[in-house]
Structure 1
Amino acid sequence: MATEFKIRTYAVKVMAIFAILFAGFANAADPVFSNKKGAIAGADPVAYFSLLPGEQAILGSDDFTYEWNGATWKFSSAENRQKFIDSPEKYAPQYGGYCAYAVAHGSAAKISPNAWKVVDDKLYLNYNKSIAKKWVKNQDDFIKRADEAWPEVLKK
């Protein structure tokens, strides 16, 4: 009886350890493109969703920041920061904010906050406006390719 109790106690402890380890892997954050200005080069990710195509990104402020997914995100207003806090997956760019064109080609590259497009309520960023023009010509295919490539890019 005592041996059975010890075995059950041991099993419960082992399962708890695996649960903790698995939770850590399941919640591991994808990398986010950041530089000295912050995530996605300091641009306000929420603001993109109210911009017209071709408009310049709105930079965030040091007054409105939020730590998420291992990066410091900046916002142009307290309202935009709160929207992001309430639903970061809705506003965060695809592929951690790395260049969507590069990810479609199997690699990660930095971005320009002014090379962007919102497609189906998702934000995509690119290396620069020249690359963004290439990307937009066949964006559906590039999105499909990048979605497939992203897990492998993460391993690099």
Structure 2
Amino acid sequence: MKAYIAYFFVVIALLLQSPAHAGADNPALGGYDPVSYFKAFPEKGKRRLVATHAGTAYWFSVESNLEEFSSNPERFIPQYSGLCATNYREGFRRPANPLIYLLVDGKLYMFSSLSALQRWQVEGVSGQE
């Protein structure tokens, strides 16, 4: 019985750390600016430049990125709530590494590891949503 209770608390802790529960002190994407992925490379956001969308906080590196996100957040939010796309497709909720990502057809996909990214590329992106 104790093992089940411990497992329950571990699951709850993992869910509370997921991107869907990220707050201003625990932003999505590990604090990286979601707009920056679409411009050149991921940049760390600043705590003072924050926007919340659907209960999730996002930090931004510059004011113009915050404004751009605010005008169309759906364009910049990663697929699968920022969880690892490969693992999500396989039925697992694994946090992604914000520095391992892929842009496909204007959509941001995040991955937990280089091997997860490689599996995604080998299997192809089409039809995976």
Runs of 4+ with deviation above 3 angstroms: 33-37
Alignment of 1:2-151 (within 5 A): 32=20, 34=22, 37-51=26-40, 57-141=42-126, 144-145=127-128, 147=129
Contact 1:109–1:127 at 8 Å: present in 2 too? Answer: yes
CA RMSD, 1 decimal:
1.9
Residue in structure 1 matched with residue 5 of structure 2 by the alignment? none
The TM-score with structure 2 as length reference comes to 0.76
Residue ranges of structure 1 left out of the alignment (5+ in a row): 1-30, 148-156
Q: Which amino acid aligns with 2:28?
A: A
The TM-score with structure 1 as length reference comes to 0.64
Write 1 or 2 for the structure with the bigger share of helix.
Answer: 1
Residues 131/43 of structure 1: CA separation in 2 closer, same or farther (3 Å cut): same
Give 3-state SS (helix, strand or coil) of 1:80's partner.
Answer: helix
Give 3-state SS (helix, strand or coil) of 2:66's partner.
Answer: helix
Give 3-state SS (helix, strand or coil) of 2:67's partner.
Answer: helix
Report the alpha carbon displacement of residue 78 of structure 1 after superposing the two structures with TM.
0.5
Report the alpha carbon displacement of residue 37 of structure 1 after superposing the two structures with TM.
3.9
Q: Which amino acid aligns with 1:89?
A: E
Aligned sequence identity (%): 28
Q: Give the distance between the partners of 1:138 and 1:131, measured in 2 at CA.
A: 11
Contact 2:33–2:44 at 8 Å: present in 1 too? Answer: yes
Contact 2:22–2:55 at 8 Å: present in 1 too? Answer: no
Paired positions, count: 110
